[in-house]
Amino acid sequence: MFVSQRRDAKAARRFFQKAIAETKVTPAEVVTDKAATYPVVLDELLPAAWHRTEQYANNHIEADHGRLKARLGPMRGLKQDRNARIVIAGHALVQNLRRGHYELAVEAPVRQRLAVAFDELALAI
C-alpha cells in the first residue's frame, strides 16, 4: 500500500500547528519516530527545535506515566473526566516541584524540595 508523502506532510503540519497553538509553547526539542515527513515539517515550523529520533528518546516522558499508573491502580482508575484533570494536574505539579521547574524550594536539597515547596505554598495561602 502506497501512502502519499504530500498527504502525510499535510497531516503532520496540521498536527504540529494545532499542538503549538493549543499549548502556546514553542518547544526546544521534539521527539518523534523516523517518519520521512517530520524533518521537513519541523524545519519549516520549528527551525530552532532539536528533532530527536533516537530509539527510547521518550523514555523519560513515559517513566512519568508509571508513577501515575501506580497511584491510580488501587483506585481502579478515575470514573470522571473532572477527577482525571485534577489528579493529573496535581501529579504534574508534584513532579515539576521535584525537578525544580518552579522558583519554589530551588535552594533546598532534591530530597527535601517537595516538603519545602509545600511549606512555602502554605505560607503564601
Which H, E and C letters describe 70-122, residue by residue?
Answer: HHHCCCCCCCCHHHHHHHHHHHHHHHHHHHCCCCCCCCCCHHHHHHHHHHHHH
Sort residue 109 into left (φ over 0), alpha (ψ -120 to 50) or beta: beta
**In the prediction, which pLDDT does 89 show?**
87
Give the whole-angstrom CA distance, residue 38 versus residue 62: 21
Give the whole-angstrom CA distance, residue 91 versus residue 71: 10
Note down pLDDT in tens along the chain; length 125 residues: 455 555 688 999 999 999 999 988 888 888 888 888 899 999 999 999 989 888 766 676 666 677 777 777 777 777 888 888 888 888 888 888 888 888 888 888 888 888 988 888 888 88
The secondary structure element, H or E, covering residue 64 is: helix 59-72
Residue listed under C-alpha cell 524540595: 113
**In the prediction, which pLDDT does 123 show?**
87
Residue 16 has which C-alpha cell? Answer: 504540529
pTM of the shown model: 0.48
